[in-house]
A and B are shown apart, each in its own frame.
Chain A
Amino acid sequence: MPEGSAQGSTVAANFKAAPAATGPAVRASATGTGCPPRRARLPRGAAARLCSRDTARLALLVWSALLILPARALPAEGVLGTDYAVVQTAGFVGFVAAGVGWELGPNHEINTLLGYVPESITGFELWQLTGKYEYHPFAREGFGAGGRTKASPLYLGFSLIYGHSPRLHFGDLPEEYPNPNYYPETAFRCTLNVGTAFPLGGMTAYAEYDALCIGVIAYYRAPRWFQEHYRAYGLEGIGSLAFGLKGYY
């Protein structure tokens, strides 16, 4: 009992010596053990406000387009047999995420994204790896000039997101836990996605609504509660918008 013993000796001295509670009726202290101090960050809610502005969204898309330009310079066959390069912002995959994808026939795609979340948004710098599957039942190719593009008015998808941090658990728990199944894995999260894709300047732009799987479960159990407390039939409470660009080779 190392913690208890160490504290015990300190506390024993304080049994009688502890100062009496005087002054204001309220005393509060934060026991911040286990939490590194947070560094400079945006004011609370600033990220959400930023995201809610259409002009900011446009800026993010332009920024994403700039990021994708080097990918368009790749050989036509792509590396590792890839069919396109992709960048995305939001939708739980990162402030910005970039990667490559494969077309599996006319209606199916998979892609993988490496995402970055700066500490100005979450309080911690975090890298994430995402695998996405998309089903495009209405996809048509060959639109626009200057590149192979795709139009897909409505598609469905699924993402598996891995967060890389010592604070997130994958595999065995730390030894202080009584059994390895004390908690489920915390390093993986999944989302269910619905989106639309359209040609834009020789590339394919897409917008998605991505719902966290735990949110889908909670919504399924209590749809009325979500509808009463959040916008968009309650879907605001369980998911996020996402915007991205794909450059097909």
Chain B
Amino acid sequence: MPSGRALSLLLVLALGLAAPSCRYSPWETDPDCTDKPGKNLASLALREAGGSDVRIALLTDSHNNVDRLDEVVSWINARGDIDFVIVLGDITNQGLLLEYEWACTGLRDLNAPRFYTIGNHDAISFGKEVFREMFGPYDLAFRFRNSRFILYNANKFEFSGVPDYDFIAAAAAVAGGETRIHTVAFSHVPPEVDVYTQAEVDFEEAFMAANGVDFTVHGHRDVYSLVQDGFGTRHLIVPSVERAYYSVLTLTAGDAVTVETCQDTCTTRASW
């Protein structure tokens, strides 16, 4: 059957030319796409002198919804006024490399610099390793326009010894002579009873207040909420990309904060 054999060889050739990548396991950890902090911080530094307010786009819980993510990315790029983007985790369902690749590929379409916190779904399977290879450390802090931004890992079921309160305390501390307007902490899981115990919630609320954290921002719950704890610290939960939402946080040099939830247009949800 020479025609059958010729067809086979043709198909092999077509497969080889069209899709030249081989993957050896669903649980591989070596990413093709990376988006680590170094390049994004360098890009952010170039924006330092571009204004006094800080406008941050918040994305969370895309869970493999690449079409929704693409839509949100196009809305954010169309605005042109976002200083940087914080991705609050759960970009995957199973922590698999392919899922991470889709999210990374989609998020790299953003024009603004991007920083990432790991979500609980991202940390299962071998997702911890993929995250570290693709996006860098689980905890990150940086300063921009006299405000301090602290991204921390709070996935207590998937990691032991988190949050790293020593890291947060050091990152939140104000240096002698430093001008600080806002100190904001971001994690995927909010400090609520579920992943946290009540005692852990109480501790974290006291800790954030004692270390001068103005407010915290989280994902995980999919819907918007804003609560103020007994120490006066606000805890903001933003709606998910899965529901076709992103949020915008505007911090002014005059110490004011505005929260908007957005689709193709934005609605102001809170300001203080």
Contacts and interface: CB of A to CB of B under 8 A. Distances in A.
A156 to B, nearest CB: 13
Contact of B24 (A30, A44, A122): A122
A247 interface: no
B178 A20 contact: yes
Interface stretch (A62-70, A71-79, A236-244): A236-244
Contacts of B1: 140, 143, 151
Interface stretch (B92-100, B217-225, B233-241, B256-264): B92-100
A52 B22 CA distance: 7
B148 A29 contact: no
B170 A229 contact: no
B157 A222 contact: no
Interface residues of B, number: 93
Given A14-B166, A45-B32, A186 B94 contact: yes
B175 A197 contact: no
Interface stretch (B81-89, B131-139, B243-251): B131-139
Nearest to A151: B4
A35 B132 contact: yes
A86 interface: no
B200 A225 contact: no
Contacts, number: 298
B210 A207 contact: no
A52 B66 contact: no
Interface string A7-35: 11011001100111110011111111111
B139 A18 contact: no
Contacts of A176: 156-157
A168 B29 contact: no
Contacts of A221: 65-67
B30 A92 contact: no
A32 B105 CA distance: 25
Interface of B: 1, 4-5, 7-9, 11-12, 15-16, 18-32, 34, 37, 41, 45, 64-67, 70, 93-96, 98-99, 101-102, 105-106, 121, 123-126, 128-129, 132-133, 136-144, 148, 153, 156-167, 169-176, 178, 194, 197, 199-200, 203, 207, 210-211
Interface of A: 1, 3-5, 7-8, 10-11, 14-15, 18-22, 25-35, 38, 41-42, 44-45, 47-48, 51-52, 54, 57, 89-95, 115, 117, 121-124, 126, 128, 138, 140, 143, 151-154, 161, 163, 165, 167-169, 174, 176-178, 182-184, 186, 189, 196-199, 207, 209, 212, 214-215, 218, 221-222, 224-226, 229, 231-232, 235-242
27 contacts: A1-B197, A3-B162, A18-B169, A27-B140, A29-B137, A30-B132, A31-B162, A31-B167, A32-B132, A42-B30, A44-B133, A47-B30, A52-B20, A89-B22, A90-B22, A126-B27, A140-B1, A151-B8, A153-B4, A163-B27, A165-B27, A168-B27, A186-B124, A212-B26, A221-B66, A232-B19, A236-B19
